[in-house]
Structure 1
Amino acid sequence: MAIKWFDSLPPRSITSFDDLTKKFFARFSIRKGKTKHAPSLLGIKQGDREKPPKLHGKIQQACLDIQNLPTEAAIMGLINGLREGPFSHSISKKHPTSLNEVQERAEKYINMEENSRLGETSKTIFAYPSQDKDKEARK
């Protein structure tokens, strides 16, 4: 997250190491005035076309604002935020033990989904019309 933040800074916006330090702490330090708690994770939901890793990123960002957040609470917030579907059913059956495990399983699920979609596409692309005529003739 820090690298993404750093990469998103406008060019020449950092003039010294002291300047970088101040901007870094302003972005990532714990804000006492806006202290959040674990239940705030329950409000984070996966969008209709949003992939699970993007939800994972939202949860990670929210976790930065919560002091002493147990890993289990972060995982439960993530599971709660998933929309209904095969991945949410899979992850509910065998609970992950870390956020990294959730991310890995989400990426595997997305890869499997894309591979099956590509397989269906290739079947339609490579279907020979003569096979359909042969089937009709046999009937």
Structure 2
Amino acid sequence: MKAKVQNDIKAPDMTPYDGTSDPSHNLSNFRSRMYLMDASDTTRCKAFPTTLTKTVVKWFNSLPPRLITSFDDLTKKFLAKFFIKKDKSKHAPSLLEIRQGDRESLRNYMEKFNKACLDIKNLLTGATIMGLINGLREGPFSQSKSKKHPTSLNEVQEWAEKYINKEENSRLGETSKTGFSYTSRDKDKEPKKTEDQHTEKPRKYHNYTPFGYP
């Protein structure tokens, strides 16, 4: 019953499935539309590939001839193929795969981690904190967490803001030192600073993205 994708049979407009989200959602929407159209089993088999992106269609076209005998058979093959990706993106253990890069700022890592948390339903506080600490590279922030584990997300956020400010102020200081070059003459012409003059106070950042849940 399986056939190559045909242009003359199309399902109602749906967001094409790309293989990275829950396949059951795409399948449920397709079934509802086909039911309203009173489509036959054969029509459903031929129309279903039109709801897939080109990448996923390649999987459909790679199925051996006569392997699919009904639409129910097709759905079982479809779910079996893509359920792993769904499981990986919807459960807490996937947070353990998120790591802070060697040169990645703490701010970027926290925002990346927070975004991943939004994709997981019913995420427990303990799992969130464990995943966050696990992904930190070796440094002042990770060392401080190894000595005293936080017990709430608010505590994590406060500690993160503290080290983000330190990290970004440190980078500003390095930029101010290396951003300009003076000749010896320029230095001689430069007026001497008095003891009353102070360097610019460290800037403090308050626009850290807080943890969120769906």
Q: Which amino acid aligns with 1:81?
A: G
Please, which of 98, 103, 112 is the counterpart of residue 44 of structure 1?
A: 98
Greater share of helix: 1
Matched with 2:115 is: 61
Q: 1:103, 1:54 → 2: CA distance?
A: 14
Q: 2:105, 2:141 → 1: CA distance?
A: 10
Q: 1:83, 1:108 → 2: CA distance?
A: 17
Matched with 2:70 is: none
How big is each residue's C-alpha offset from its partner over 1:47-97, in whole Å with a ceiling of 9 and x where there is no partner?
Answer: 122222322222221112222110110111000000011210101211122
Q: Runs (4+) of structure 1 moved beyond 6 Å?
A: none
Q: 1:49 to 1:66 in 2, by over 3 A?
A: same
Matched with 1:74 is: 128
Q: 1:49 to 1:116 in 2, by over 3 A?
A: closer
Q: 2:109, 2:146 → 1: CA distance?
A: 16
TM-score by length of 2: 0.37
Q: State whether residues 53 and 103 of structure 1, in contact with CA within 8 Å, keep that contact through their aligned partners in structure 2.
A: no
Q: 1:49 to 1:100 in 2, by over 3 A?
A: farther
Structure 2, unmatched stretches of 5+, are: 1-20, 24-85, 178-186, 189-214
Q: 1:89, 1:38 → 2: CA distance?
A: 23
TM-score by length of 1: 0.55
Instruction: Report matched runs for 1:78-117 at 5 Å.
Output: 78-115=132-169
How big is each residue's C-alpha offset from its partner over 1:98-122, in whole Å with a ceiling of 9 and x where there is no partner?
Answer: 3332232122123234556739x5x
Q: Alignment partner of 2:158: what SS?
A: helix
Q: Which amino acid aligns with 2:165?
A: N
Structure 1, unmatched stretches of 5+, are: 1-30, 122-127, 130-139
Pairs aligned (count): 95
Q: 2:119, 2:167 → 1: CA distance?
A: 33
- After the TM superposition, which of the residue ranges 78-87 and 93-102 deviates more from structure 2? 93-102
Could you say which structure has the larger radius of gyration? 2
Q: State whether residues 95 and 116 of structure 2, in contact with CA within 8 Å, keep that contact through their aligned partners in structure 1.
A: yes
